[in-house]
Chain A
Amino acid sequence: MAGPVSDERTAVVLPAEGPLAPPARQGERTLERRRRAVAYLLLTPGTLYLALFFALPLILIIYTSLKSGGLLSGGGFRFTWQWENYTDGLATYGSFYVRSVVYAGIATVACILLAYPMAYWIAFYGGRWKSALFFMILVPFFVSFVIRTVQWRFLLGDFGLIFGPLKDLGLLPQDFRVLATPLAVIAGITYNFLPFTALPLYVALDRIDRSLIEAAKDLYATKTEAFRKVVLPLSFPGLFAAVILTFVPATGDYVNSSVLGGPNTTMIGQIIQTKFLVELRYPEAAALSVVLMVGMLLIALLYAKALGTEDETLAAGAGA
């Protein structure tokens, strides 16, 4: 957010005063330099944190992904530039990546379709209850992720709370099931990631200046047009963030497919988890993780490019 804002300032000031501005005096320069130094100083804890908990593990994972050998047999791992970890991994598990991306993609779309109207309604009609209402979206998520997902097993069970009575009444065939199908996994992901979608959307919608909507109506826009031409474009930055924040972690998720899925719904996160924690095949697991990460990065970059994040549309929306 800081970027576009400061850009605006320079843009406003420069044409008016740029060429005429008197040269900064020595004192001002020192002050400016000191201010910058302080700014960098403020960055150090964050930088150290990232170096320690992000960069270092990342390097270790890449390093591990090129090792060979086994922990139990084969006398431990050795670094041997074992590229086969990648090629074999991709060949064996390619379809799991695709499935993960498809499930996460569908879930992300579902999340947006659910969260956008909710966030919109709360931001525009919540009045003084806004914060309380939004908090209600978050409340279920104070309960552990795993417990919530396990609850869904009871709800969606073949003879569970929902389908049991319906089957008893003969409204559903006895062999009807949702659990262990892609639908269950996608529904679980949708449910579990909804706050990550709702929060950025709500923030973006809530900060839209209401007078812009009045201006649109004043300029002959109907309610729908005011939404399409003003609210929607101004919520793009939030939409963008919501998609990334939902899609990326959802692709790597393994809890929903483990708990709600069946043998045919296995996602790549599950494979990685099993390889790491059950089979203890660290190099292969690391290679699969790196592939997942790089894939996600590529998708995110392509997505950003397609939407034109560099375009000022988003910057202006974010800065306004």
Chain B
Amino acid sequence: MPEVDVRLERVTKRFGEVVAVDDLSLDIAEGEFFSLLGPSGCGKTTTLRMIGGFEDPTMGTVYLGGRDVTDLPPYRRDVNTVFQSYALFPHLNVFENVAFGLRRRKVPKDEIATRVREAMRLVDLEGFEERRPAQMSGGQQQRVALARALVNRPKVLLLDEPLGALDLKLRKQMQLELKRIQQEVGITFIYVTHDQEEAMTMSNRIAVMRHGRIEQLGEPEAVYENPATEFVAGFLGASNLLEGEVKETNGSGLATVLLTAGPSVRLPVDRLPAGATGRVKVGVRPEKVSIAPEGEAGPADRNTVTGRVTMSTYIGVSHQFKVQTAGGAELTVYVQNLGAERSPAQGESVVLTWKPEHTFAVEPQEDLTSEEDEG
């Protein structure tokens, strides 16, 4: 296990009545690409700003490389930030923007020239040194902001939705670029985003935040495959969530849940929320579900639900179906477009099946409706 680079210990930040960050603890390892993911207003930026030294925690301690830095100003922390708005200095050219941190640290002239050149190469912007930020496109400005931070070789780089202002195509390209750069320089990246796909693409680990707390922390795959809460299940990708009640947990490691909307389904016992006995929501990701015409009953070891197709959409790489079960629940199904099978039409009765090990369960959360969608 590599060393812990950033540690937040029971950190709380209040702005008057608003609790922006609520008793949050976090360990980030050296060299890790770590993402804070969550809807707008959940406290991501505030968390990042406390690591950078731009906000004082109301309570709690911030450690960088094992040292308590809670009371240190930003310029005394070995951390640099890529700001959401880039915050490039409009009165300085690109070279001077990138050299700003080195000049403040009184790095010798020759070394500044070398290191700026190096940073410009890293972000693929050689030859732009004399330009003003205003004479560059959004994507280029983004790279300047990155170079300006990286040139200082900080221990930790903080990035606050750095790609938020770019269009989709450029964003995808920059995601890969960022990942490459991070691997090349080996610096710890703490990345704030409300885009779950972005977080999944780039991160070693993700912390999903809500109301100033971490709802779940783990590797992208773990968080996606086995969401810990209903909120996480809904925020990361699409999920089908069906209400039900835990009936039995038998010896083979499988539990049975009786769905409110019909049959029972099985899932691994360790996928049940800790201590859950009563009401739960059972989930399965749309791409894990197979769809077949009625009567073609699947293997008995799969969870099975019947229903009627209410919508069938062709989206190129896949078909997307909405299926209404007899009990009134609605499930979404993605079927990869392999070009072979005939796909069920709207109105057709179908059987949906999936493996128990692709099933998860979460405690129902009451207060989800209004805030899910990010701004």
Contacts and interface: CB of A to CB of B under 8 A. Distances in A.
A317 interface: yes
B114 interface: no
B235 interface: no
Nearest to A9: B134
Contacts of A317: 90-91
B90 A211 contact: no
B67 interface: no
A211 B87 contact: yes
Decide if the interface of chain A is mainly helix, strand, loop or mixed. helix
**Which of B80, B83, B104, B105 has the most chain A CB atoms inside 10 A of its CB?**
B104
Contacts of B91: 230, 233-234, 313, 316-317, 320
Contacts, number: 79
B89 A12 contact: no
Nearest to B74: A217
Contacts of A62: none
B60 to A, nearest CB: 21
Contacts of B252: none
Nearest to B158: A218
B54 A214 contact: yes
Interface string A209-245: 1011011111111100100011001100000000000
Interface in A99-118: none
Interface residues of B, number: 28
A12 B134 contact: yes
A319 interface: yes
A218 B160 CA distance: 13
Interface in A103-141: none
A307 interface: no
Looking at A12, A211, A220, A316, which has the most chain B CB atoms within 10 Å of its CB? A220
B148 interface: yes
Contacts of A312: 132
B54 A215 contact: no
A8 interface: yes
Contacts of B152: 219-220
Contacts of B54: 214, 217-218
Nearest to B98: A219
Interface in B181-199: none
Interface in A153-196: none
Contacts of B149: 218
Nearest to B154: A218
B90 A214 contact: no
B132 A214 contact: no
A288 to B, nearest CB: 41
A217 B75 contact: yes
Interface string B197-240: 00000000000000000000000000000000000000000000
A304 B90 CA distance: 20
The CB with the most chain B CB atoms within 10 A, among A216, A217, A313, is that of A217
Interface string A72-88: 00000000000000000
Given A12-B135, A221-B104, A215 B83 contact: yes
B50 to A, nearest CB: 13
A212 B100 CA distance: 12
Nearest to A229: B100
B101 interface: yes
Interface in B243-292: none
A11 interface: yes
When A and B form their complex, which 4 residue pairs have the shortest distance between CB atoms, in order from nearest?
A320-B90, A219-B101, A215-B87, A220-B104
Interface of B: 52-54, 73-75, 79-81, 83, 85, 87-91, 100-101, 104-105, 132, 134-137, 148-149, 152
18 contacts: A11-B134, A11-B135, A211-B83, A211-B85, A212-B89, A215-B83, A216-B89, A217-B53, A217-B74, A218-B75, A218-B149, A219-B100, A219-B104, A220-B75, A220-B152, A225-B104, A233-B91, A316-B90
